[in-house]
Chains A and B, each alone.
Chain A
Amino acid sequence: MSEHHAVAHHTEAHAHGHDHHGHDGHHELGFIRKYIFSEDHKTIAKQFLVTGIFWAIIGALLSVLFRIQLGYPNADLTWMKPFLGKWITEEGQIAPEFYNALITMHGTILVFFVLTAGLSGTFSNFLIPLMVGARDMASGFINMLSYWFFFISGAVMFVSFFLATGPASGGWTAYPPLNALHDASSGGVLGVDYWLISMALFIVSALLGGLNYITTVINLRTKGMKMFRLPLPIWAFFLTAVIGVLSFPVLLSAAILLLFDRNLGTSFYLDAINLAGEPLANSGGSPILYQHLFWFLGHPEVYIIILPAMGIVSEVLSVHSRKPIFGYTAMIYSLLAITVLSFIVWAHHMFMTGMNPFIGSIFVIFTLIIAVPSAIKVFNWLTTLWKGDIRLNPQMLFAIGFVSLFISGGLTGIFLGNSSIDIRLHDTYFVVAHFHLVMGVAAFFGMFAGVYHWFPKMFGRYLNPTLGYIHFWGTISAAYLIFYPMHFEISLPRRYYTHSGFETFSDFAHLNAFISTVAIISFALQLLFVFNFFYSIWYGRKLRESNPYGANTLEWTTPLRPGHGNWEGDIPEVHRWPYDYSKHGRDFIPQTEPLSQYEIEHGEHGDEGDRDIIKKEEDENHKG
């Protein structure tokens, strides 16, 4: 036993010795070190969250603007002229170049700044040390750098909005040749350079964050926290980081080559181009090469977005249905399978590039195989809910909403994954509906579930539940009202500035107006959430108990407002998996509680344990 103790102490010293912030020798830090250049993972998580919210508002606002254009193409927007200047034409319309910039920046901001940095950055930072039982990340300094690289990346992107020629406008994928030429579009003059530099900084941020997450999960788990005792969010964050570390560098390479093509005259992606009737000197390059490099990141990126949401939802569903997560190990293996498969499906974004149909069919097969682990996860979430003692609080509603959206959006993925059908559906609103449901709104729901669930741990107060209910029911209705009809716009090409010039598209005018109206209402609902968020930080109902939900995981063993170092005394030791809910007649058994004499840990003898043993134990308790 003494040996155990010595080792445990050694671990703590290791975990923290290099950070100069020992929990014992706690000295008050100044405002700047405490709130701005903080190395505390909890503060960094909040920085990521607030920055993510900022970007979410901007990104959503952009979508409102282009939805106005799509839904009400003839509306007079002269009143916006004071804000948007020349981006509103003389006739009071959104300028076509501006429309392109809007959709480009909407995609970029939501995919990278909100659903990667805002989601992964927030919850990986906040939960990994708290849930694995560590004082902080492996390196607090690198963690801090990760946030500030993200901040600078955002600043560069933000500045690009104010360029005279506008921000990048060639789509969030920044395909060459359009984005490789300065004179092919107004956003291409300078905006794309800002975009590329911003992305490069963002990649550095994602890598610095990711390597910390991986190292912390592998190296700094508390005593007894085996990999197969980790809560599912941690598995999800861990694998998300693995995907990021392997795929983001490839995007960096792609971006560097594109920067060279744009500014130094190389021809990596350019070949035989005429611009405004004049042939360019470039030869020997291939735009398809960029697409391969881009989607080698781009596809894993969607799993970078969805895996953390999956992990959060698994935890919330289990805690608030007072039942063990169904199929814990199957969940982990599904996450692993998704991680591996995510790297060998990228070309399903490129069926239209004229690729060899045989190669295409290989990518079809892998794409369809990914549906298997996804379906296993859906099954397990539903069976976790089955006969649960369900608490329908906002976080639970958002978690259930996630499952609903993931199913609805996932089903259309099976259509799109088939190359023969995809050739018909490619670049239509069917695709837009698919990915917004399955990884856009669904990931947002996972994020909301996480915010509502861990808000008390983050800020020591609760979010207002009434506003939460309004937020949930409004948002889920809006999500379906917006994206369900889009599935019928199967012949409507995406990214078009206007559909009013084509007789064949005129049937959709009313539908588009309807979608746009709902989108605007939905935006207002999100502002309600933002209000709730900031109001509750200062004025919400106070958290008075350390474990308000009766959850098993370690973050609820910390003090109400944990300081840097998380636990005041020793880090608690872990003795069991995190999902012992409603076991042996008890509501919940925290991970820190040792197994009782006859108890068998989950996974060692089937999920339910041995009836005889349970009986023996009950008898024993009765006597004692």
Chain B
Amino acid sequence: MAVSIHKRFIVHPYKFNMWIAIVSMVMIFAAFTSAYVVKKGDTKTWADIQLPQIFTLSTIVIVISSLLMHAAYVSFKKGALEWYRGFMTLTFLAGAAFLSMQIQGWYTLVAQGVYLTDNVAGSFIYVISGAHFLHVAGGVIALLVFSIRSFTRYQASNIEAMKDTTINVEVMATYWHFVDILWVYLFFFFMLNR
């Protein structure tokens, strides 16, 4: 009996909450991308849009940011405060860099003559990448809070207090990996479904 109770708590409720929230976010993008596929199937005027180069770069950046996030999490768990501060701040910066690259990508699209209202293909790229942008922006704000707190809340003297809040960092990391994987999916989706 005791075992089964322990088993239930392998996943902390907060983290479980995040997973279910991720399921619902997956459904949002599943709806968007399946609408994209359906639309592409029955539209004769589907425009062939060249994805901006910078989207490739932003993909690399967000994958790296995910690795940094993991490094931050590992150092937090080890209680390596200095490393945690460094990695967390770098993750935040990478996230912010991703956001600015996405904006640049949209400018490039406009320069190519792809407008929001011109062709459904373009509309979809803006709406879907825009919806993803908002999800990342939410994450970047959270990362900023985590970065600031890594300097204000934790000191070498109260390293024990860190242990109690591991779950927060874990939930943050879960979300950040999710938006990373989501973008990689969207990137390849756009590339393969032109």
User: Which residues of A are in contact with B by a Cβ distance under 8 Å?
Assistant: 3-4, 7-8, 10-11, 14-15, 18, 138-139, 142, 207, 210-212, 214-216, 218-221, 223-224, 226, 245-250, 252-254, 256-257, 260, 264-268, 283-286, 289, 292-293, 296
Contacts and interface: CB of A to CB of B under 8 A. Distances in A.
B38 A266 contact: no
Chain B, interface SS category: helix
Contacts of B131: 256
Given A3-B2, A138-B13, A283-B45, A289 B38 contact: yes
A7 B2 CA distance: 7
Interface in B100-146: 116-117, 119-120, 123-124, 127, 131
Interface stretch (B17-25, B50-58, B72-80, B147-155): B17-25
B188 interface: no
B192 interface: no
A266 B27 contact: no
Contacts of B11: 219
B156 interface: no
Contacts of B21: 207, 211
A268 B34 CA distance: 13
B123 A139 contact: no
13 contacts: A138-B13, A138-B17, A139-B17, A216-B13, A219-B8, A220-B13, A248-B27, A249-B25, A253-B29, A265-B117, A267-B120, A268-B39, A293-B35
Contact of A246 (B23, B117, B127): B23
Given A249-B26, A285-B39, 6 more contacts: A219-B8, A250-B30, A265-B116, A268-B120, A268-B123, A284-B119
A226 B5 CA distance: 10
A208 to B, nearest CB: 8
A14 B42 CA distance: 52
Contacts of B6: 7
Interface of B: 1-2, 4-6, 8-9, 11-14, 16-17, 20-21, 23-32, 35, 38-39, 42-43, 45-46, 116-117, 119-120, 123-124, 127, 131
B42 A286 contact: yes
A245 B24 contact: yes
B193 to A, nearest CB: 16
The majority secondary structure among interface residues of chain A is: helix
A256 B135 CA distance: 15
Contact of A257 (B9, B43, B119, B127): B127
B121 to A, nearest CB: 9
A215 B20 contact: yes
A343 to B, nearest CB: 11
Contact of B123 (A14, A215, A267, A293): A267
Given A14-B13, A219-B11, A264-B117, A296 B20 contact: no
B92 to A, nearest CB: 24
Contacts of B27: 245-250
Contacts of A260: 116, 123, 127
B132 to A, nearest CB: 12
Contacts of B1: 4, 223-224
A246 B11 CA distance: 21
